[in-house]
Each structure stands twice: as C-alpha cells, then as structure tokens.
C-alpha cells in the first residue's frame, strides 16, 4: 500500500503550530510578488546548508518578519492600498468565502476579522524538513513530493490490512509532535492515494479499495496530471468524470507515452514506485522496555531490531559503513559502541558485527531498558574503498540478504527470521 500525506492548509497550520492564539479563528497567509530576490543587496540572503529535497530553491530570503502594514500596504499619493493575495487560508476563513489566489483586499471585505500574516518561508521549510525526517524514521521508503506532501511505500513493512490503523496512528503522532494536521490517502497506487487525500481533508484518513468505484463521480480536473491541455481534449468529447475515462484506453494510447502513462495512473495500474533521493545520513531504530538482565534476551532483541534496520537499509539501496549500538540501563547508566565496516552490507554481516559489539559494551548484571541501533556513513555519501579481502564472502551474503529482502517485500518483514532471533528467553 501507498500513503499520501498532505498537511492541511500548511502555511496557516505552520503559523498555528507556534501561536495558539491563531487556532480556531479565520487566518490567512498572504503573499505578494517578491522583487527583493532581484535586489543587489545580498545582506539578508542566507544559504541553507540542510538538504530540503530537490524541489526547494537553495536560497531563501530570510528578512526579519514584517508586519501586515509593512508588507501589504502601499501608500500611493497619500492614499493607502492593500496589496497582495491569499496564499493559504484556514477552514474558518474558507467558510466565509476566502479562497487561495483572492486579492487580500477582497478577502478582508468578505471577512473583516481575518488575521492576515506575511509568509515566513524559512520557517515553513524548516518545519517541512523536520516532518520529512520524522516520516523517514517511521516509513522505510518516503518521497517528499512538495513542501507539504509526502508519499510513503508500506509494502513489506505494514500489511495492507493494517495500513489504515497505521495511518491514523501516524496522523495522531504528527499532530502530537508538530501540532500539524495532516490528511492521509491510502491506496494500492501512489496517484490514487494522492487523489484519496483530497477527499480525506480536513484531518481525515481515506483508504481506497476499489479504484473504479472511487473515481466514478470525480471531476476530471481533480486528478493530478490532468492539466489544462488534457482537460480541454476530454471536455471536447463531453467527458466530465474520471469514471467516464475507464473505457477510453484506446484514446489515451493514441496520445503516446504520456497519454498511456496518465491512463494507467488514473486506473491505479501504473506500478510506479516512489522516487528515492539519496539524502538520508543514517538509518536507526530504538526500543524502550521493562528492565532485562539476561544477556541472551538482549542479544535476541538486538537481532530482531537488526532485521528491521537491514530491511530499511536495503530498501533504500544504501551501503552503510558504520554500525552503532547504544544500550541504556537503569540508574541512567549507558553503554555505546560503533564499528567501521568497509564491506558490502548484508543482514548476516550486520548481525554478526552487532553481536560482537554487544559483547564488548554490555554491562553484565545491569537491567537494560533501551536499545538503539543505527547504520550510517553510506558509501554513496562517503565514498570509501570496500574491503577486497572479504569480497567473495560478502557478495554471497549480500545475495542471500537480497533474496530475503524480495521475499519480505512480498510476504512481510516477519516472513523470514534467522535462528539468532528465535532463541527466546522469558520476559
Ligand atoms: Mg496541503
């Protein structure tokens, strides 16, 4: 299953996340064409060094925040005039007729108590980046599609029957952590999931089981990818809804590769995966539990967690060269260790190294309450020469690991466990 996650009225929600006074009242974030980027003064331009994804321009204008008056009111010949348009509005404002793209002066006539804020793109990008990081820790494969939209691939991670429960929990946690309301669409294809999100708003979760039934009454312009050109061509044929397109495969195919692709996306049969960006620096998970003293039970838990980390790592197509393990005990005692392993990553190798690491750092007799494992220093980020000595062994281990990966992608992450995960001790 694919998830599509979209933040509800993002810029407004971002402002509300840092100012509770804006919650529950009509709010709009406004914008006006920003000519300052052409200015020769460069004093306020700051280069962002964080990776925000390919869709973000690397340079932001991070001026001090302007007031409404400074930003939106022009004084011409002694008369004041409100400039600018609505970029985003809250649902309370929309209920009063305020719409995206509407001149601010008109919006304020419709809704005089509307609170209008100048946009703060830097803050929105930081929030978006923080959410992207959060999602990357929750879902093995995530694609950031725009500043406030993400695709997640749950295949092999969450069984399709549990996708909705997973999405609702994710929605709750995002609200708890970031105070951002998101809507989530779930479907077997990413574009159907994106369409579903439209109908989940605000703050809803919608799972589409039967694509043809779902799209039957949906107007064609709701579909991402049906732009003005396609819309005109379809309207000329009297088509109004996506459902009417189902028997029109031939027509779409006559429009060549893009037409064929669009048809497959509409029907949810495109088979497209999510786009991967090699932007992450590490993969890790942690678990907290009641105190455990038995070393073999701790080792077993490490092996189970290692399987998860290995799965995510391979899903990302990454080759980490640093493995680390941290253990927290009662009385705030801690142990940690890391190894550099310049070899081809595989689950077998990872588990063997962690087992040695555990023997080295574990404090016998202490009650452990938390385990954290991670891998980092990916070879595509930090090119290093991999060991030639172990090349043949590693290639074999990698081939086995990839075989297990394929089975898990089809049947779930629990489909295969290795012996060292099964030596269960009570607790
Ligand atoms: Mg949005």
| Phi, psi angle pair for 129, to nearest 5° | -65, -40
pLDDT of residue 424: 47
**Token representation of residue 270:** 């495109």
* Span from the CA of 168 to the centroid of ligand 1 (angstroms): 17
* Span from the CA of 6 to the centroid of ligand 1 (angstroms): 5
User: Do residues 4 and 150 lie in contact, with contact meaning Cβ atoms separated by under 8 Å?
Assistant: yes
* Span from the CA of 235 to the centroid of ligand 1 (angstroms): 27
* Span from the CA of 174 to the centroid of ligand 1 (angstroms): 14
Q: What does pTM read for this prediction?
A: 0.63
pLDDT beneath 70: ranges in the chain = 33-65, 122, 276-281, 316-317, 380-386, 412-413, 422-427
pLDDT of residue 335: 97
Helix (H, G, I), strand (E, B) or coil at 120: coil
pLDDT of residue 378: 74
CATH architecture of 125-266: 2-Layer Sandwich (3.30)
* Span from the CA of 149 to the centroid of ligand 1 (angstroms): 7
Dihedral angle of Cα 221, 224, 225, 227, to the nearest 10 degrees:
30
Helix (H, G, I), strand (E, B) or coil at 152: strand
Residue listed under structure tokens 């690491």: 357
* Span from the CA of 198 to the centroid of ligand 1 (angstroms): 9
* Span from the CA of 226 to the centroid of ligand 1 (angstroms): 19
User: Do residues 350 and 375 lie in contact, with contact meaning Cβ atoms separated by under 8 Å?
Assistant: yes
Neighbours of ion ligand 1 (CB under 5 A): 6-7, 10, 148
Say how far residue 266 (Cα) sits from the centre of its chain. Answer: 22
User: Do residues 86 and 76 lie in contact, with contact meaning Cβ atoms separated by under 8 Å?
Assistant: no
In degrees, rounded to 5, the angle at the alpha carbon of residue 425 between the alpha carbons of residues 422 and 427 is 120
pLDDT of residue 357: 98
| Phi, psi angle pair for 329, to nearest 5° | -115, 175
What distance in Å separates the CA atoms of residue 11 and residue 26, rounded to the nearest whole number? Answer: 13
50 assigned to active site: no
Q: Where are the domains of the chain?
A: 9-120, 125-266, 282-421
pLDDT tens, position by position, 132-149: 888 988 898 888 888 899
Q: What are the DSSP calls for 57-110, one per residue?
A: -SEEE-PPPPPHHHHHEEEETTEEEE--EEEEE-HHHHTTT--TT-BHHHHHHH
What distance in Å separates the CA atoms of residue 362 and residue 407, rounded to the nearest whole number? Answer: 33
Per DSSP, 121 falls in state H
Helix (H, G, I), strand (E, B) or coil at 411: helix
**Token representation of residue 251:** 């027509």
* Span from the CA of 201 to the centroid of ligand 1 (angstroms): 9
Q: In 327-390, which residue ranges form alpha helices assigned H by DSSP?
A: 347-361
Is the domain defined by 9-120 classed in CATH 3.40.1170.60?
A: yes
For 400, residues 6+ apart whose C-beta sits below 8 A from its C-beta are 346, 348
What distance in Å separates the CA atoms of residue 137 and residue 141, rounded to the nearest whole number? Answer: 9
* Span from the CA of 152 to the centroid of ligand 1 (angstroms): 16
pLDDT of residue 78: 85
Pairing verdict, β 141-146 and 45-47: unpaired
CATH architecture of 282-421: 2-Layer Sandwich (3.30)
Catalytic residue among 92, 149, 347, 353: 149
**Token representation of residue 298:** 């701790």
* Span from the CA of 88 to the centroid of ligand 1 (angstroms): 9
* Span from the CA of 279 to the centroid of ligand 1 (angstroms): 23
Say how far residue 41 (Cα) sits from the centre of its chain. Answer: 36
User: Do residues 358 and 325 lie in contact, with contact meaning Cβ atoms separated by under 8 Å?
Assistant: yes
pLDDT of residue 36: 43
Q: What are the DSSP calls for 210-256, one per residue?
A: -HHHHHTT-BGGGSTT--HHHHHHHHHTT--BGGGGTT-HHHHHTTH
Beta bridge partners of 149: 6, 146
* Span from the CA of 99 to the centroid of ligand 1 (angstroms): 14
Q: Please indicate whether the domains covering 9-120 and 282-421 agree at the CATH topology level.
A: no
């Amino acid at each position: 299953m694919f998830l599509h996650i979209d933040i509800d009225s993002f810029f407004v929600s971002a402002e509300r996340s840092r100012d509770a006074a804006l919650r529950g009242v009509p709010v709009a974030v406004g914008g006006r064409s920003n000519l300052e980027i052409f200015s020769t003064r460069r004093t306020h331009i700051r280069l962002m060094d964080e990776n925000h994804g390919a869709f973000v321009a690397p340079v932001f204008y991070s001026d001090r925040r302007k007031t409404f008056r400074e930003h939106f009111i022009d004084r011409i010949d002694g008369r004041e005039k409100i400039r600018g348009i609505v970029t985003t509005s809250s649902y309370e404002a929309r209920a009063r007729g305020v719409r995206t793209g509407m001149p601010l002066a008109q919006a304020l006539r419709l809704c005089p108590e509307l609170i209008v804020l100048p946009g703060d793109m830097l803050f929105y990008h930081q929030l978006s980046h923080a959410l992207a990081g959060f999602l990357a820790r929750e879902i093995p494969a995530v694609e950031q599609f725009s500043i406030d939209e993400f695709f997640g691939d749950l295949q092999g991670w969450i069984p399709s029957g549990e996708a909705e429960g997973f999405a609702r929990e994710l929605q709750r946690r995002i609200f708890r952590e970031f105070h951002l309301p998101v809507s989530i669409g779930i479907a077997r294809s990413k574009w159907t999931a994106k369409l579903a999100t439209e109908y989940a708003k605000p703050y809803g979760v919608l799972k589409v089981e039967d694509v043809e039934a779902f799209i039957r009454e949906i107007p064609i312009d709701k579909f991402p990818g049906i732009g003005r050109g396609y819309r005109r061509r379809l309207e000329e044929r009297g088509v109004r809804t996506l459902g009417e397109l189902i028997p029109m495969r031939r027509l779409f195919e006559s429009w060549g590769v893009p037409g064929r692709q669009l048809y497959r996306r509409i029907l949810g049969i495109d088979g497209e995966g999510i786009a991967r960006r090699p932007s992450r620096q590490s993969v890790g998970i942690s678990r907290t539990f009641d105190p455990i003293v038995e070393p073999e039970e701790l080792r077993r838990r490490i092996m189970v967690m290692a399987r998860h980390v290995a799965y995510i790592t391979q899903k990302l197509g990454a080759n980490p060269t640093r493995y680390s393990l941290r253990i927290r005990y009662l009385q705030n005692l801690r142990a940690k260790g890391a190894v550099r392993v310049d070899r081809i990553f595989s689950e077998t190798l990872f588990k063997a190294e962690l087992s040695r690491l555990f023997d080295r750092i574990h404090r016998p007799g202490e009650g452990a309450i938390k385990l954290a494992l991670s891998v980092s220093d990916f070879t595509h980020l930090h090119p290093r020469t991999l060991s030639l000595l172990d090349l043949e062994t590693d290639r074999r281990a990698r081939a086995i690991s990839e075989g297990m990966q394929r089975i898990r992608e089809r049947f779930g992450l629990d489909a295969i466990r290795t012996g060292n995960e099964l030596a269960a001790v009570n607790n």
